[in-house]
Amino acid sequence: MNIVVFGSTGSVGTHIVKQALEKGFQVRAFTRRPEKLAPQARLEVFKGDLMDRQAVEKAVSNQDAVLCAIGDGGKGGIRALGTRHIIDAMQTVGIRRIICETTLGLGESKGNLNFFWKYIMFGLLLKKAFNDHKLQEEYLFKSNLDYTIVRPAAFSDGAQTANFKVGFDGNAKGLSLKIARADVAGFMLRELETGQYVKKPVSISN
Say how many C-beta atoms besides its own lie within 10 A of residue 59's C-beta. 25
Residue-level pLDDT, tens digit, the chain, 206 residues: 999 999 999 999 999 999 999 999 999 999 999 999 999 999 999 999 999 999 999 999 999 999 999 988 666 679 999 999 999 999 999 999 999 999 999 999 999 999 999 999 999 999 999 999 999 999 999 999 999 999 999 999 999 998 999 999 999 988 999 999 999 999 999 999 999 999 999 999 99
pLDDT of 73: 64
pLDDT of residue 159: 93
pLDDT for the residue numbered 74: 61
Q: What is the pLDDT of residue 173?
A: 87
Give the Cβ contact number of residue 99 at 10 Å.
26
Nearest-5° Cα angle at 27, 62 to 100: 85
CB 83 within 8 A of CB 70: yes
- Please, are residues 166 and 148 in contact by the beta-carbon 8 Å criterion? no
pLDDT at 28: 98
Maximum Cα–Cα distance for the chain, whole Å?
46
φ/ψ of residue 41, rounded to 5: -65, 140
Q: Judge contact between 46 and 57, C-beta under 8 A.
A: no
How high is the pLDDT of residue 75? Answer: 67
